[in-house]
Amino acid sequence: MKRVMLVGAGTGGSALFDVFIETEQFRVCGIVDKNEQAPGILKAKKMNIPVFSSWKEAYERLSPLDVVIEVTGDTSLLNELRNFLINDPATVIPSSVASVMFYLMEEKELLLDEVKEHNTIMDVILDSTHDGMIAIDLERRITLINRSAEKMSGLKRKDVLGKRIEEFMPTSKLPRVLKTGKTETNRRQVIGENRQIITTRVPMFQGNRLIGALGVFKDVTEIFHMAEEVTNLKSIRQMLEAIINSSDDAISVVDEEGKGLLINPAYTRLTGLEKEEVIGKPAYTDISEGESMHMRVLKTGNAVRGAKMKVGPNRKDVAVNVAPVIVDGKIKGSVGVIHDMSEIETLTDELEKAKQIIRTLEAKYTFDDIIGNSEELQVAIQQAKVAAATPATILLQGESGTGKELFAHAIHNASSRKFNKFIRVNCAAISETLLESELFGYEEGAFSGAKKGGKKGLFEEADRGSIFLDEIGEITPQIQAKLLRVLQEQEIVRVGGTKPVAIDVRVIAATNVNMEKRLESGEFRADLFYRLNRMPIYIPPLRTRAEDIPQLCDHLLLKLNQEYGRNVKGADKEAIRMLQDYHWPGNVRELENIIGRAMIHMHYLEQFITGAHLPQLNSSKTKGDGEWTGENAAGRMRQEGETLQKVLEETERQTILEALLEHNGNKTKTAQALGLSLRSLYYKIEKLSIDIGN
């Protein structure tokens, strides 16, 4: 470091003093000026640098010196200094040279300030960009790292500048660029903790000379995540569209303004409308009759189910379910699912057919199958429901055709035994000799022809279930005695056997005869009757509940339509009036017969039964049970003035019609049943003008 003495502390000396103070190559040892208030003197005093009023004194005190600078501009003073120091190694610099030095230093400072300012601006620019930048020199030392690069890499500028890049970024490919001198663009790279970047690396040249490499990179981690989310959303949308398009239900989607957004192929098949006729069009475009449920849902925000309307140019009858699409608490649209009503009706018909098939199994019916709202019938139903919940024996009483077996089925299905067997026995249809063995079974060798090993009886088959004994009033005293034992002891003894067999059977009996008269005549055991009559239920005849006839007609038509393959929808008011005026000695069974007969007379295109389709019915309701009514075998009254021949022809006609009905219009089977040749049957059909509806 050079030792300097300044002679002169005015403006120029003060400026030089400032310059030398900032340098590391020169040290001001003292400053000389006669004016104690000179700027340079004041500065020196503050910095504890020696000040002098005489240069000779200063020299003596500060010697040895390397440089003495005269800054006063006094030529005589300069000469004195030169002559005094002629043999001294110290260099004397005149004020003119010092002035030049001052100006050069000042210029340098200005340039340095400009460079500093320029560098500051460049730093601001580099730190403001979102792209990361890292530069290295030929020695692979880091010369530049901006703020974005710090953030992405997790490095700090103060820690890495001047250090080799592989120490901090071992995956960096900038050293490769130094070797190849080639630019690498849009290369994918992972830095830091799984941060993904896209980088461009370029070599840096000064003229033709390679001086380093620069990497500019962008953080694309979020972009890749967003791309993955977009891909996932696209996949989800494609999946949803595939699901919607594969649905057999017609689906339409609208936006919050009610404009069509999406329909599926099933929608086009149902309505007959293509995409271009619906997409972007108002929601009511497809409606030919009714209100737009889409618009209602968008307005109210409430879902709609089962709305009926007509859609498309073919005015298709449909049922619509529509629900709002809500995103972040706001309605963004609605989705509608449209069901073809004709398809629903077909499915309903198929369901009814399935029910009919199921009903061919054991216990066919439930209380829902007992049709009628009359007070008498409802009392019987309530009694039956109460009885079903108990294990008590039940006696069903009522005229023939009132539905006693129907009640028996319903009682079993409403009881705790419904999952076990329901055995039906018509006591009047089995001969006395067979009835005992059928009911109670028999042991091997009990009689000639007995099955080897014996056979279970119907009571044993019905164990833990129910047995329905129809026409119970017709059984013989012998069977009555054995039946009494079953009810009292809950056990049976097989025919030819001696060992009792315990059983758990609920007995449901039915009769259409006057049991009190049977008791009086001794034809039926009183003790058995009292056992059977523990829970008596009386089923009213049809003539006492004529208000049920319209409902019964609808129910029977549904059944007969399936059997005959017809589509009769109902009976008109005149036909209903005629049916209600009749006294129905055969009850519901006769009503079914009459309706079936009317259907045979109808043309296959006719859909409603009229009075003309019905046979002539006696309108009197006053006839009692067992009272002769003057009816012929066909169930009609002889009219005044009607000849015997006419009555016989009408009877023959009705008999043939009933036989045809019984055999579903099959003429071969009808002829066999009537004991006629097929040719004779055709002759009588033509002669008697019998219309069989085909």
- DSSP one-letter string for 398-456: --TTS-HHHHHHHHHHTSTTTTS-EEEEEGGGS-HHHHHHHHH-B-TTSSTTPPTT-B-
**DSSP H or E stretch at residue 298:** helix 293-300
pLDDT category at 694 given cuts 50, 70, 90 is very low
Instruction: Copy the structure tokens of residue 540.
Output: 């009213």
Instruction: Copy the structure tokens of residue 309.
Output: 């309307």
How far, in Å, CA of 49 to CA of 395, rounded? Answer: 138
Cα separation values, 335 from 274, 296, 343, Å: 18, 12, 21
For 293-351, write each residue's pLDDT tens digit.
889 989 888 998 888 888 888 888 888 899 998 888 888 889 999 888 877 777 666 66
pLDDT category at 72 given cuts 50, 70, 90 is confident
Identify the pLDDT of residue 624: 41
Average pLDDT rounded to a whole number, residues 374-391? 92
Q: Is the pLDDT of residue 412 over 90?
A: yes
Instruction: Copy the structure tokens of residue 61.
Output: 């005190």
pLDDT category at 623 given cuts 50, 70, 90 is very low
How far, in Å, CA of 197 to CA of 201, rounded? Answer: 12
For 264-285, write each residue's pLDDT tens digit.
888 888 888 888 888 888 888 8
Identify the pLDDT of residue 672: 83
Q: Are 583 and 627 in contact (CB under 8 A)?
A: no
Instruction: Copy the structure tokens of residue 528.
Output: 């058995």
Q: Are 363 and 414 in contact (CB under 8 A)?
A: no
As a whole number of angstroms, the longest Cα–Cα distance in the chain is 184
How far, in Å, CA of 150 to CA of 191, rounded? Answer: 11
Torsion of CA 34, 35, 39, 45, to 10 degrees: 70
How far, in Å, CA of 391 to CA of 376, rounded? Answer: 24
Identify the pLDDT of residue 360: 41
- pTM of this prediction? 0.43
What is the gyration radius of the CA atoms in the chain, in angstroms?
59
3-class SS of residue 300: helix
Instruction: Copy the structure tokens of residue 162.
Output: 């001047």
Q: Is the pLDDT of residue 46 over 80?
A: yes
Strand order in the sheet with 2-7: 51-52, 26-32, 2-7, 67-70, 91-93
Other CB atoms within 10 A of residue 563 CB: 12
Q: Is the pLDDT of residue 67 over 60?
A: yes
Q: Which residue has the tokens 């949308």?
A: 237
Q: Is the pLDDT of residue 626 over 50?
A: no
Q: Are 693 and 597 in contact (CB under 8 A)?
A: no
Average pLDDT rounded to a whole number, residues 605-610? 88
Q: Is the pLDDT of residue 628 over 70?
A: no
Which of these, 197, 100, 187, 104, lies nearest to 148 by C-alpha position? 197
How far, in Å, CA of 386 to CA of 420, rounded? Answer: 20
**DSSP H or E stretch at residue 160:** helix 157-160
Identify the pLDDT of residue 634: 45
Q: Is the pLDDT of residue 670 over 80?
A: yes
Q: Are 600 and 692 in contact (CB under 8 A)?
A: yes
Q: Are 210 and 196 in contact (CB under 8 A)?
A: no
